[in-house]
A and B are shown apart, each in its own frame.
Chain A
Amino acid sequence: MSAPASFKRAKRISSFLVNLVLILISLAWLTPVFGVFVTSFRTSEDIFKTGWWTVFPHRAEVKTGEIKLPAEVDVNSIMTVEGVQATFEQLRQGVLLPDGRKLIWFGNKRTRTIEIYEKRWVGFDTNLTLENYRNVLSGQEIRFKGADGKEILRMGNNLGAAFLNSIAVAVPSTIIPILIAAFAAYAFAWMNFPGRKVFFIGVVALLVVPLQIALVPILQDYTRLNLNGTYLAIWLAHTGFGLPLAIYLLFNYVSELPRETLEAAFIDGASHFTIFTQLILPLSVPALASFAIFQFLWVWNDYLVALVFLGEKTRVITSALAAMVGEKGQDWHLLTSGAFVSMILPLTVFFALQRYFVRGLLAGSVKG
């Protein structure tokens, strides 16, 4: 074997190993989500009985028959069933027949029943349903079957309404801070006013303040102003918590736009407001988009702020889902479909706008 050939071979082996490791890690990352996804389409009864992986074709022991022992057989001594001799205890544990079938005693001695199990490929006629999604979205009473097949009655968690509320919270909570921050960033970068430097340092310093610091006093203010539970309250809160980062990022971007472009506009007699709306905003679209995606996801996925400021009527999807975890801890058909309802929009944004998404999240990593 010549040297280049062995080198090539080594390279191919290492590339194979690299891909193998990465595939294993990727599988570990995907499997939990995939399990929830599959479970959200299964019926409640099935979920109680078997793991989600059983929906795929696999070999399992399936009951294929039943033997009723005649009355003359003595169940307290060795019995001969299907050509094998076994005691009751052995049958209870399960007895393997030479042909691969398995005998298992059903219940106690008095049943006189032996079940025959056989390894077979199963899982081709999996029972999938959209019922869970219908139930979880509705706010009405819902019925489903429990582990023992009995019907259970619950109140739906009205995730449909919560989803709409999330939109009503997240869209303005994204656009308002961007608008306010863009105006401020422009002023800091291109306008002259007393205290400009001091104010800007102040804004950057506020980046370190964790959310928890602000919650208690703001809640007091809202109670006094009777703002608790309104959209305005939570928009303002998210705006306040998002502004330092937004101003900081947009300032970095806006301040580096070419000076000549702005000066030309000034000489043409354009006002600051015109320059800002006609020139700066369109030029800053990449920065605005990155921050918008970060802020939108942050607000959509936020739980703490929503928990503190929003009431029952304006409940968003994360709080609704968390409430479900609390009150319906074992109703996995509802929890899994609920989780997917909450994830569908962020995941869509992620796959549609991956590049902006990554940029936005990287930039947002300095958020306090």
Chain B
Amino acid sequence: MSKPSLLGWLAANLGRILISIFVPLVTFLVLWQGFIFLRDSNAPQMVIVLVAILWGVGGVAALYAISNWLVEQLPTQWTARLQPFVFVGPALAILFWFLALPTLRTLDLSFRDATGQRYIGISNYIFALTDRVMLEAFRNNLLWMVFGTFFCVGLGLVIAVLADRSRFETIYKAIIFMPMAISFVGAGVIWKFVYTYKGEGAGISEIGLLNAMVLALGGQSQPWLQIPPWNNFFLIAIMVWLQTGFAMVVISSAIKGISSEVLEAARVDGANEFQVFWHIIIPSIRGTLLTVTTTIIIFSLKLFDIVRVMTGGNNGTNVIANEFYLQRFTYSNAGRASAIAIILLLAVIPVMMYNLRQFRERRAF
């Protein structure tokens, strides 16, 4: 009984089946042609950019639409069973390929030699935890973590509290927040120019802002980025410039959440502004302060671009993420690079876990 009905179904749906095969094939061909064009074409760049955007965005949208259409051709119960995977499948596949699997592979690589051929036990980790270069990087990351975080959060707090009492709050906040829009490379250029040094000699005048200011105050110009260990602090200043805006905005919105009755009551009771600050504002926003601190700690742990652009890690300014880059791409030592990456992961995990829990409670989005 089933055979004729299956055949009947096939016959009745032959057109549909053919289309179901034909449509994905055509889509695939079109997308493949697009890929070839983008890789090999010498068309004017404007054209390539436009085609790339259309191809990339349109391609992804088309893949979803077509796979969904295919699934909806199936009998209802199969549609219900498979459709969720059409929706969630691509995300899971990409996450698996780009994050889950690489974590395991990096872990595996970290126990192998430079080329990834042979297992060499934990010697990469011994390098990563005891080598002089790495110890210097750890020390510098610690400097970034302690001083960078302290100044970002401290300044952010001060500005948030002060701006809360000014009529021009939005203007100040926009100015302090603005560097968040600038890339680390761009910020690198801006600050390299501030720190630039020409040296002594007849007819030479310093064109860097810092040296000009030092000279105007009667000091001597210095090659700021070449004096260890102080050069680290000149780099940290860049991070403070970039990230204080973030701390300020988060803290500011927490301050706005403190009930004005509590503040008024304290003031009526005769508390001065410093007492209000220490005994009411700070305790009320403690949770926010901690979240901001952990976020900036993570940032300082993974910091790479500023050091890479400003000093390349020379003159005692190396950091972990830069040493990772050097090991992998300059010295081609995949094993050591992987060990460093794993250490970075382990360092970030506890802070991240705390942050995520806070984030869920805060419902920031």
Report A's interface with B, CB cutoff 8 A: 14-15, 18-19, 21-22, 25-26, 29-33, 35-36, 39, 47-53, 161, 164-165, 167-168, 171-172, 175-176, 179-181, 183-184, 186-188, 191-193, 196, 199, 202-204, 206-218, 221, 230-232, 235-237, 239-241, 243-244, 247, 249, 252-253, 271-273, 276, 287, 290, 297, 300-304, 308, 318, 321-322, 325, 332, 335-336, 338-339, 342-343, 346-347, 349-351, 354, 357-359, 361-363, 365-366, 368
Contact = CB atoms under 8 A, between A and B. Distances in A.
Nearest to B362: A362
B207 A47 contact: yes
A171 B49 CA distance: 10
Interface in B178-200: 178-186, 188-194, 196
A301 B182 contact: yes
29 contacts: A51-B209, A167-B53, A172-B53, A175-B56, A176-B57, A179-B57, A179-B60, A180-B94, A183-B90, A192-B84, A199-B92, A208-B348, A210-B302, A213-B106, A213-B342, A213-B344, A216-B109, A230-B39, A235-B56, A236-B94, A247-B91, A300-B183, A303-B185, A303-B308, A318-B185, A335-B189, A339-B189, A350-B178, A350-B181
Contact of A368 (B72, B91, B352): B352
Contact of B341 (A53, A208, A212, A235): A212
B43 interface: no
Given A210-B344, A272-B87, A301-B182, A240 B212 contact: no
Given A164-B49, A350-B178, A368 B348 contact: yes
Interface in B98-114: 98-103, 105-106, 109
B103 to A, nearest CB: 5
Interface string B111-123: 0000000000000
Contacts of B61: 179
Q: What 7 pairs between A and B have smallest CB-CB spacing?
A: A240-B98, A301-B183, A172-B56, A193-B84, A184-B91, A187-B87, A350-B181
B175 interface: yes
Given A199-B88, A208-B349, A32 B191 contact: yes
B364 A362 contact: yes
B246 A217 contact: no
Contacts of B168: 19, 22
A206 B348 CA distance: 12
A30 B177 CA distance: 11
B279 to A, nearest CB: 19
* Chain B: number of interface residues, binned into ranges: 35 or more
A346 to B, nearest CB: 4
Contact of A217 (B64, B84, B105, B349): B105
A281 B274 CA distance: 48
B85 A325 contact: no
Given A168-B52, A172-B52, A172-B53, A273 B72 contact: yes
Contact of A358 (B38, B87, B105, B249): B249
Contacts of A239: 94, 98
A26 B175 contact: yes
B109 to A, nearest CB: 6
Contact of B356 (A207, A240, A300): A207
Nearest to B116: A220
B97 interface: yes
B260 interface: no
B224 interface: no
Contact of A231 (B56, B85, B349, B365): B56
A367 B208 CA distance: 35
A93 B221 CA distance: 20
B185 A332 contact: no
Contacts of B207: 47-48, 50-52, 332
A193 B177 CA distance: 43
Interface in B22-59: 35, 38-39, 45-46, 48-49, 52-53, 56-57
A322 B306 CA distance: 10
B236 interface: no
Contact of A240 (B99, B175, B185, B355): B99
Contacts of A241: 98-99
B48 A217 contact: no
B142 interface: no
Interface residues of B: mostly helix, strand, loop or mixed? helix
Interface residues of A: mostly helix, strand, loop or mixed? helix
Given A236-B98, A339-B189, A213 B53 contact: no
Looking at A164, A276, A290, A351, the one whose CB has the most chain B CB atoms below 10 A away is A164
Interface string B342-358: 10110011001101100
Contacts of B88: 183-184, 187-188, 191, 193, 199
Contacts of B48: 168
Given A32-B193, A35-B193, A308 B365 contact: no
A303 B305 contact: yes
Contacts of A215: 328, 341
Given A161-B45, A366-B295, A33 B309 contact: no
A365 B177 CA distance: 14
A176 B56 contact: yes
A18 B190 contact: no
Contact of B103 (A14, A213, A335): A213
A191 B83 contact: yes
Nearest to B177: A358
B166 A366 contact: no
Given A191-B87, A300-B183, A366-B295, A216 B189 contact: no
B107 to A, nearest CB: 9
A247 B365 CA distance: 12
Contacts of B308: 303, 322
Given A206-B100, A216-B334, A193 B85 contact: yes
Given A210-B302, A215-B328, A303-B183, A287 B365 contact: yes
A52 B345 CA distance: 43
A191 B349 CA distance: 30
A36 B190 contact: yes
B193 A167 contact: no
B19 interface: no
Given A22-B159, A176-B57, A273-B72, A362 B250 contact: yes
Nearest to A241: B98
B337 to A, nearest CB: 6
A365 B56 CA distance: 27
Contacts of B212: 51, 53
Nearest to B90: A180
Given A202-B95, A240-B99, A343-B183, 18 more contacts: A164-B49, A167-B49, A188-B88, A193-B85, A214-B106, A216-B328, A216-B341, A231-B56, A241-B98, A241-B99, A308-B329, A322-B185, A325-B192, A325-B309, A335-B193, A346-B183, A350-B177, A350-B178
